[in-house]
Amino acid sequence: MYAAKIIGSVVCTCKEQRLVGLKLLVVQPISLLNLENEGKPVVAVDAVGAGETEIVLVVGGSSARQTGITGNMPVDATIMAVVDHIDIGGRKVFEKYAAGDAE
């Protein structure tokens, strides 16, 4: 499992039948310590209704096929959580809803 930021989407008019209706998002893996980019972007199936620019948790490999909507499907990365906040060593690294932001 790794943290990533959603940076885009992928639209495919022709795809494997079991993937019809699933949202495909481009995610950029990031460091949990400083939210800096780490590695190459990947395409992930959205299992939780994530949105543009959100920080999410992604699972890959066989774990990507263990959610309710991706079971036994040809996927290698699945967004399975949207991050609300990250605390490391008593320091808040990320907060989705900063003071004054609307939910």
pLDDT tens profile 10-34: 999 999 998 999 999 999 999 999 9
What rounded mean pLDDT belongs to the chain?
91
What pLDDT does residue 11 have? 96
User: What are the chain's domains?
Assistant: 2-83 (2.40.50.220)
Beta-sheet pairing, 42-46 with 77-82: parallel
Count Cα neighbours of 53 within 13 Å in the Cβ-side half-sphere.
2
pLDDT value at 100 more than 60: no
Tokens (6 digits) for 70 = 């991706």
70-79 mean pLDDT: 90
Instruction: Indicate the pLDDT class of residue 101, thresholds 50, 70 and 90.
Output: low
Cα–Cα distance for residue pair 15/88, rounded to 1 Å? 40
